[in-house]
């Protein structure tokens, strides 16, 4: 019985040492991966990297990590418009089946899904900031975006000026709009156009102001836009990808 107790104690101690070594190793790997991702994506701050699954050391031995989570608080994504960027907040991506090279210089995930937010102030930059003439003497422009409820965006359009034979107008109208994703572009389209008593507004001219799109050409590792929905503080985008490059 004494020998059995000693054996059990040794097993427990060795098991504890293995767990400790495993956790130390995964912590080191997470820090190294975060620094590598920061360098690869030219990030201003170090991202959060969490390697899930236990034990970590056996995953390393196999050359594949089951589940890696990446968090980037602020990311400047390209818009494909003369070097202009758009800020994406709170990007959280879950990577599955992450293969890495023998010298750990490169890593690629078989698949990835995630979410992020584009604030309404950032999305507002995609609209026409300068007033545009909708009828002779009357101009309009988008002055604000907000949550319209039920997955809609509320677009605030200011209309001002004086058309011939009509009283001067200076009003801000609210237009409920649908937001969608197409070819890595966030598109906003008015459900119904605003009407102003006494003014006959051409639909194409009004939609040239109320409807707009924002391209997002480059996201980390080559992930792409999948879905989008209006929320309280901005539009929440869902992203996905395959063969996503994390480093190298």
The H-assigned helical ranges of the chain are 2-40, 56-62, 120-124, 203-210
* pLDDT the model gives residue 188: 95
In terms of pLDDT, which residue wins out, 22 or 138?
138
User: Mean pLDDT across the chain, nearest whole number?
Assistant: 82
Q: Give, in order, the Cα–Cα distances in Å from 244 to each of 39, 152, 221, 222.
A: 16, 31, 5, 6
Determine the Cα–Cα distance for residues 226 and 183; give it in Å rounded to an integer. Answer: 9
Stretch 70-74: mean pLDDT: 91
* pLDDT the model gives residue 190: 93
Per-residue pLDDT tens digits for 25-57: 777 888 888 888 888 888 888 989 888 877 877
pLDDT at 137 > cutoff 60? yes
Strand partners, 117: 89, 236
Which pTM does this prediction carry?
0.83
Nearest alpha carbon to residue 183 among 228, 230, 128: 228
List the structure tokens of 218. Answer: 């480059």
* pLDDT the model gives residue 53: 79
Q: Give, in order, the Cα–Cα distances in Å from 50 to each of 26, 187, 244.
A: 9, 33, 16
* pLDDT the model gives residue 32: 82
Give me the torsion for CA of 53, 55, 56, 58, rounded to 10°.
-120
Confidence label for 89 from pLDDT (cuts 50, 70 and 90):
very high
Per-residue pLDDT tens digits for 111-133: 999 999 999 999 998 887 788 88
Confidence label for 12 from pLDDT (cuts 50, 70 and 90):
very low
* pLDDT the model gives residue 11: 47
Confidence label for 18 from pLDDT (cuts 50, 70 and 90):
very low
* pLDDT the model gives residue 189: 94
pLDDT at 238 > cutoff 90? yes
Stretch 90-99: mean pLDDT: 91
Which positions ≥6 away from 248 have C-beta within 8 Å?
40, 101, 105, 106, 107, 108
* pLDDT the model gives residue 177: 95
Which positions ≥6 away from 30 have C-beta within 8 Å?
49, 50, 51
Per-residue pLDDT tens digits for 182-210: 988 999 999 988 776 666 666 778 888 88
> What burial class does residue 7 get, using C-beta atoms within 10 Å of its C-beta: 0-12 exposed, 13-18 middle, 19+ buried?
exposed
């Amino acid at each position: 019985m004494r020998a059995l107790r000693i054996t059990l104690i040794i097993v427990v101690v060795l098991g504890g040492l293995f767990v400790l070594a495993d956790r130390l190793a995964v912590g080191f790997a997470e820090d190294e991966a975060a620094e590598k991702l920061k360098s690869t994506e030219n990030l201003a701050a170090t991202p959060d990297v969490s390697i899930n699954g236990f034990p970590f050391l056996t995953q390393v031995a196999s050359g594949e990590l089951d589940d890696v989570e990446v968090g980037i608080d602020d990311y400047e994504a390209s818009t494909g418009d003369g070097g202009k960027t758009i800020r994406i907040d709170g990007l959280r991506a879950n990577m599955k089946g992450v293969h890495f090279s023998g010298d750990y210089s490169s890593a690629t995930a078989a698949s990835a899904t995630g979410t992020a937010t584009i604030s309404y102030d950032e999305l507002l930059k995609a609209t026409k900031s300068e007033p545009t003439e909708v009828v002779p003497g009357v101009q309009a422009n988008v002055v604000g975006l907000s949550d319209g409820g039920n997955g809609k965006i509320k677009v605030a359009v200011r209309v001002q000026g004086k058309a011939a034979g009509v009283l001067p107008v200076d009003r801000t109208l609210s237009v409920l709009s649908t937001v969608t994703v197409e070819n890595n572009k966030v598109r906003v389209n008015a459900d119904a156009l605003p009407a102003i008593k006494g003014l006959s507004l051409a639909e194409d001219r009004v939609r040239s102001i109320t409807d707009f799109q924002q391209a997002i050409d480059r996201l980390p590792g080559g992930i792409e836009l999948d879905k989008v929905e209006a929320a309280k503080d901005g539009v929440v985008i869902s992203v996905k990808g395959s063969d996503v490059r994390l480093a190298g």
